[in-house]
Amino acid sequence: MDSIKVFAPATVANVACGYDVLGFALQEIGDELIIRKTSGPGLTITEIHGSDELSKDADQNVVTVATQDMLNALGKPGLGFEFELTKKVKPGSGLGSSASSSAAAVFGVNRLLDEPFTKKELVQFAMEGEKLASGVPHADNVAPSLLGGFTFIRSYNPLDVLQLDYPQELCATVVHPQIEIKTSDAKRMLKQQIELRDAIVQWGNLGGLIHGLSKGDFDLIGRSLNDVIAEPIRGILIPGFQEAKVRSKQNGALGCSISGSGPSIFALSRGMKKAQIVAETFRSLFEEIGLESYVHVSPINPKGAEVLK
């Protein structure tokens, strides 16, 4: 096989209480990447569709940076590939845009090389893309984009990625108010020290959320979708955020928080019907505010990165 077309989904990272350690994958939205082997050495980006902002420079694009890291680990740094990227996740949306591109790249190249690495092993290479994009090699977007479902980073050093059980009825509603927040800026906003009393609340909720997901206990999931570390600081940047939380819960959502570093907001609901009602709630709220918004409703994507025909 000399060429391949792949898809890697958009993701919701943090999921309220799991800053930098928890994430899940969405259906339908994500980046597409066509990858071709070349006879000469080196990595080249030939086209980027759907975004004017991204560099085609091999040192400056997450696709080539993540791929190069993987080729180096394989001991074949000089292999040649060219990439045609179609961005369907907007950079700066909080839906794991850079992660979708990085995940698609390492997944596709790994397939073209007859899979020297497992999908889980690819997470560490895709993280190099995140390092380029945000300054921090976090895995809470790239892991679900590669593996699908809910993923949990038990440890970064050494990297220990877990795939969590979750109830199939769980559905996500995401709204992207059309403003941009750079993850690097949103990361810099956060305090480097937190109060012990906040840490106790946060790890209580994180444990509760993971237990609720594994047991299919929707009330517990709802009670646990609470972030006292990042959300109080970042929420200020997102117009309508507090109102979105209140109204989505009044309209049946289990809980609502910031998707990744924002400005997208996500809510989790039991079943598509409720998730659609929450979508309407978000739409009308942002119409009232006078801010254009994009709304997406989706079950949890169980597959992650995949080959397209």
Q: Which residues are at the interface with ligand HSE (CB under 6 A)?
A: 13-14, 19-20, 94, 96, 138, 140-141, 183, 186-187, 230, 260-261
Question: Least distance from C-beta 231 to ligand HSE, angstroms?
Answer: 10
Question: Least distance from C-beta 94 to ligand HSE, angstroms?
Answer: 6
* CA-based torsion, 101, 113, 38, 132: positive or negative: positive
| Residue among 43 and 127 whose Cβ is closer to ligand HSE | 127
Q: H helices of the chain, where?
A: 62-74, 97-112, 119-134, 142-147, 183-188, 196-215, 218-224, 231-234, 241-250, 272-289
The residue type of 248 is S
Question: Shortest CA distance to 230 belongs to which of 261, 268, 193?
Answer: 261
Run of H or E residues at 160 = strand 159-164
Residue 245: alpha-carbon gap to chain centroid: 20
Is the distance from CB of 30 to CB of 90 less than 8 angstroms? no
9 burial type by CB count under 10 A (0-12 exposed, 13-18 middle, 19+ buried) = buried
Give me 86's structure tokens.
Answer: 């179609």
* CA 46 – CA 107 distance, rounded (Å): 19
* CA 221 – CA 88 distance, rounded (Å): 30
Q: What are phi and psi of 258, to 5 degrees?
A: -80, 140
Give me 40's structure tokens.
Answer: 């000469």
Q: What are phi and psi of 84, to 5 degrees?
A: -120, 110
| Residue among 42 and 137 whose Cβ is closer to ligand HSE | 137
Query: Where are any strands of DSSP class E within 14-143?
Result: 22-37, 42-49, 80-86
* CA 263 – CA 289 distance, rounded (Å): 15
Give me 217's structure tokens.
Answer: 């206990």
The residue type of 79 is L
| Residues identified as active-site | 130, 183
